[in-house]
Structure formats: structure tokens, C-alpha cells
Amino acid sequence: MQGIRAGCITSAVLTILAGIIIVIAGASISSKNTPYRDYWPELYSLPIYAAVVGGLAIILSAGLLYVITRQFPALTTVVSIGLIVVAILALISGALDIAGRAHIRSRTLNTTKYLVSNFYANNSDTQEVYNRLQQTYKCCGIIDAFDWSKLDPTTSSVPDSCCIKMSPGCGYNQLVQQNHIYLSGCAEIVGNAYSLHYATLIVFSFLVMVFCITEAITGFLFESHIRQRYELM
């Protein structure tokens, strides 16, 4: 009895910790990718989904701690079933993240190509997005800074957002001087960053799933022992 209760409490605490981490990570990743949600929508929506799952895991784990402390068998069963549902949701979250991570580098390469090719088009949104991307991830161009010269072979300048210290006109003639700009392209840097985002969500989604299943099993066992004790009384 005491061993089952201790296992239930331990798994609940671990679920709460994993839930807190995935809520924070999900909110942070989603917030960081809000400016780019039109181009990488899955990296805006999937972290929110993971954070919601983490929040549900926290609530139900706290509920399980309460009902086993008060020894309510019926509520223990209800909460344990809820934890199974959350485990399924966490499995779905992890599976979606795995699918997204598998193609994120090629997706990022194609997206950066599109944004650069449309940078000087009559679309201020595209320009604003890529300027922000280059400054945030400290990169320039697609593969490297010289991608900007492919748009106009006669130019030796890059957008000011390529500059290490951004200021008006700082990108002028920097493909020649190369002393004030980031030279690495955005496709690899952003792709690696997004791959890491996915990896974080995958790890903690599956941790939440495992801990929730463990909680549910120990919860059912604890409920069974309580009922047996009541029957003996």
C-alpha cells in the first residue's frame, strides 16, 4: 500500500515538473516564432498544443495528489482515466513534432529561398519578416551573404539587417568589405534552431506521456487497495 502510494506521488511530482517545463518551452517557442507564423505555422501552433497538454498534465497530477491524500477511490479512478487521455494527447503531440522535425531543414531552405527572392517585391511584410529573421538569428542570405548578389549581380550591398550592428546604410558595399556583416546564411542556422525546438517538444511530450501512464497505473492500483480495505471493514 505504502509503496504504491509512494510511486503514485513520485510519478505525479515528475509529471508536474515535466509539465511545467513543456509549458514554459511551448510558450517560449511559440512566442519566439509568432512573427514568422505565416511561414512556419507549425512552429507556432504545435508548441501551443504541447503547452496545453502540459497544463492538463499538471492539473490532473495535482488532482491525483489530492485524491490519494484524501483517499477518495471514485475520484482516483476518474483522475487516472483523465491521465490516460492526457498521455494519448502527449503521444499525438510527440508524433506531430517528430513529423515536423523530419522535414524542418528542407522546409526552412525553401522558405528562406522564397523570402529572399521576394525581398525586394512590393511586399513590405516579406521584407520585414526576413529583416527580423536575419537580426534574430545573426545570419545573412540563404546559404551565405553572397546570395544577395544573385538577386542583382551589379550590387555589392546587402540589407542592413545583415549587419552585426544594424544602422541605416550599414550594409552598403559589405560584400566587398565583409567586415560588419554576418556571412553565414539563414537556412542552416534557422533550420538547426527549429530542429532543436522540435527536439525539446518531442522529449518532454514523451516524458509527460510516460509519467502520466505511470501515474494512471499506480492510481488504479491505489484505488483498488482502498476499495479492498473498505470491503474488509
Residue/partner pairs of 177-180 with CB below 8 Å, 24 or more apart: 178/145
| Whether CATH 1.10.1450.10 fits 106-187 | yes
Taking only the tens place, the pLDDT of each residue in 52-81 is 999 999 999 999 989 888 777 778 889 999
48 vs 18, 34, 199, 204, CA distance in Å?
A: 15, 11, 15, 14
- Which sequence spans correspond to the domains of the chain? 2-104+194-232, 106-187
Taking only the tens place, the pLDDT of each residue in 189-223 is 999 999 999 999 999 999 999 999 999 999 888 77
How close are the terminal C-alpha atoms of the chain, in Å? 16
What pLDDT score was predicted for residue 199? 97
Taking only the tens place, the pLDDT of each residue in 10-60 is 989 999 999 999 999 999 999 999 999 999 999 999 999 999 999 999 999
In this prediction the pTM is 0.87
Structure-block grid coordinates of residue 125? 511584410
